[in-house]
């Protein structure tokens, strides 16, 4: 899923930095953010440069009267009425269209809501003791460098930084075990759990915004795209919609020498042509982002929580890089390396490196961490002994 998304979006090299997240996260927090802000700019520019509303006024209206009518109808809302229906009386029911003045503001607010999960993720992943973006940004930098010495130096920095985190994580796991804390199960899984929650936030946000537009547009917007597809399949006109009428009616009153005169004028809303195109695109874009994010969530659930898959992933990279020649000889050591040294959080960071940089960088990082694990093996054994895991020690010593 992540590879498919990367093919249909812009070059993600600029968006990967400072995030420590995947392509589908960048699809929401970066691409959708700029997309909505761009639409908001277009709409607002249209209001400022052109005339957002033009009303057909009675012949006796002067240019000042016409200008006043446009302003009144723009600020007090208009209503849509098909040509085959009679104009209602003064106190008759109207369904006013009250969104067109606020489209730019709503799009800006939507953009901010799409961006927010990314800084929230950065804030909470730092609580684990390591900023995921520090590792992924270093991996991106390592991928870009052509000089072998600079590349090797960056890779050693990644191994040292992440290795220190994993050793410290093992120490905290020991403390939690001694205290019999309810947080015992969280150690080594904090990043995975937090990231999956953030994924749910992304999904809730995009689906919630579809229904939020229902209230804003005062219509059944969450079914808008499906209705358009149905009209296209039946060969009907799909560009004209009651949701975004181009021609509306406006009622207003004017006091003249103590008398109140009521007028009903017909107005044109040229910006609704752009609004309709924008919101059609937004519906299909939101549907695409939802599908991609749900698919990504299911993938991360499987790859992050299913330990045998993590073992297979790490071992295959070690063997491909000729770090482990005989799999059966190092079976127990490899299982310990994945399950108790890297844990789910370490495997998660490695996969995030592969998503942001490349599988080669991730494999080199795994090899560096394998060497770091072998160098700190005795220290880890002492902690296992303190935890009382004698069976594990017997297998390792064997």
Confidence label for 118 from pLDDT (cuts 50, 70 and 90): very high
Cβ-Cβ contacts under 8 Å for 138 (sequence gap 6 or more): 154, 157, 158, 161
Q: Which is it for strands 78-79 and 259-268: parallel, antiparallel or unpaired?
A: unpaired
Measure the CA–CA gap between 292 and 199, rounded to whole angstroms.
Answer: 11
User: Which H or E run includes 263?
Assistant: strand 259-268
Residues paired with 250 in a beta bridge: 265
Domain boundaries, the chain: 2-387
The answer, yes or no, to whether residue 242 has pLDDT greater than 60, is yes
Model pLDDT, residue 151: 85
Measure the CA–CA gap between 232 and 203, rounded to whole angstroms.
Answer: 28
Confidence label for 86 from pLDDT (cuts 50, 70 and 90): confident
Angle, vertex CA 83, rays to CA 57 and CA 278, nearest 5: 85
Measure the CA–CA gap between 226 and 122, rounded to whole angstroms.
Answer: 36
3-state secondary structure of 256: strand
DSSP 8-state class, residue 136: H
Measure the CA–CA gap between 379 and 364, rounded to whole angstroms.
Answer: 24
Measure the CA–CA gap between 242 and 79, rounded to whole angstroms.
Answer: 10
**How is the beta sheet containing 96-97 ordered, strand by strand?**
54-56, 259-268, 247-256, 78-79, 96-97
> What's the mean per-residue pLDDT of the chain?
81
Model pLDDT, residue 13: 47
What does pTM read for this prediction? Answer: 0.82
Look up tokens 């961490």; give the residue. 369
User: Which H or E run includes 268?
Assistant: strand 259-268
Interval 67-77 mean pLDDT: 87
Q: What is the pLDDT of residues 269-313, one digit of tens each?
A: 888 888 888 988 999 999 999 999 999 999 999 998 888 888 889
Interval 218-224 mean pLDDT: 78
Q: What is the pLDDT of residues 272-282, one digit of tens each?
A: 888 888 988 99
The 10 Å Cβ neighbour count of residue 102 is: 12
Sign of the CA dihedral with 196 first, then 197, 198, and 204 last: positive
**Measured CA distances, 364 to 281, 352, 359 (Å):** 42, 14, 9
Phi and psi dihedrals of 261, rounded to 5? -110, 130
Q: What is the pLDDT of residues 342-364, one digit of tens each?
A: 888 999 999 999 999 889 999 99
């Amino acid at each position: 899923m992540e590879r498919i998304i990367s093919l249909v979006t812009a070059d993600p090299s600029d968006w990967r930095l400072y995030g420590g997240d995947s392509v589908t996260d960048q699809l929401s927090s970066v691409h959708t953010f700029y997309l909505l802000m761009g639409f908001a700019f277009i709409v607002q520019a249209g209001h400022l440069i052109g005339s957002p509303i033009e009303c057909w006024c009675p012949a006796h209206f002067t240019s000042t009267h016409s200008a006043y009518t446009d302003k009144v109808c723009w600020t007090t809302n208009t209503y849509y009425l098909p040509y085959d229906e009679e104009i209602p009386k003064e106190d008759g029911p109207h369904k006013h269209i009250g969104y067109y003045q606020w489209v730019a503001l709503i799009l800006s607010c939507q953009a901010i809501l799409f961006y927010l999960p990314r800084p929230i993720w950065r804030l909470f992943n730092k609580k684990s003791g390591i900023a995921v973006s520090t590792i992924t940004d270093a991996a991106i930098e390592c991928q870009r460098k052509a000089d072998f010495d600079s590349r090797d130096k960056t890779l050693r920095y990644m191994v040292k930084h992440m290795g220190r985190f994993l050793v410290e994580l093992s120490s905290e796991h020991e403390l939690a075990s001694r205290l019999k804390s309810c947080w015992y199960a969280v150690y080594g899984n904090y990043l995975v759990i937090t990231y999956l929650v953030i994924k749910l936030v992304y999904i809730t946000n995009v689906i919630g915004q579809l229904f939020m537009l229902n209230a804003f547009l005062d219509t059944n917007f969450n079914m808008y795209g499906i209705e358009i597809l149905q009209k296209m399949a039946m060969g009907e006109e799909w560009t004209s919609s009651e949701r975004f009428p181009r021609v509306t009616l406006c009622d207003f009153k004017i006091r003249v020498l103590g008398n109140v005169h009521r007028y009903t004028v017909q107005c044109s809303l040229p910006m609704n042509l752009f609004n309709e195109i924008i919101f059609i695109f937004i519906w299909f874009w939101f549907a695409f982002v939802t599908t991609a994010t749900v698919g990504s969530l299911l993938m991360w659930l499987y790859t992050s929580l299913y330990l045998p898959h993590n073992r297979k992933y790490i071992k295959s990279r070690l063997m491909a890089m000729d770090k482990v020649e005989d799999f059966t000889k190092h079976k127990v050591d490899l299982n310990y390396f994945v399950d108790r040294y890297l844990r789910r959080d370490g495997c998660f960071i490695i996969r995030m490196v592969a998503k942001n940089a490349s599988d080669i960088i991730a494999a080199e990082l795994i090899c560096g961490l394998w060497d770091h694990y072998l160098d700190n093996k005795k220290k880890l054994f002492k902690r296992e002994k303190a935890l009382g895991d004698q069976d594990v020690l017997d297998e390792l010593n064997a």
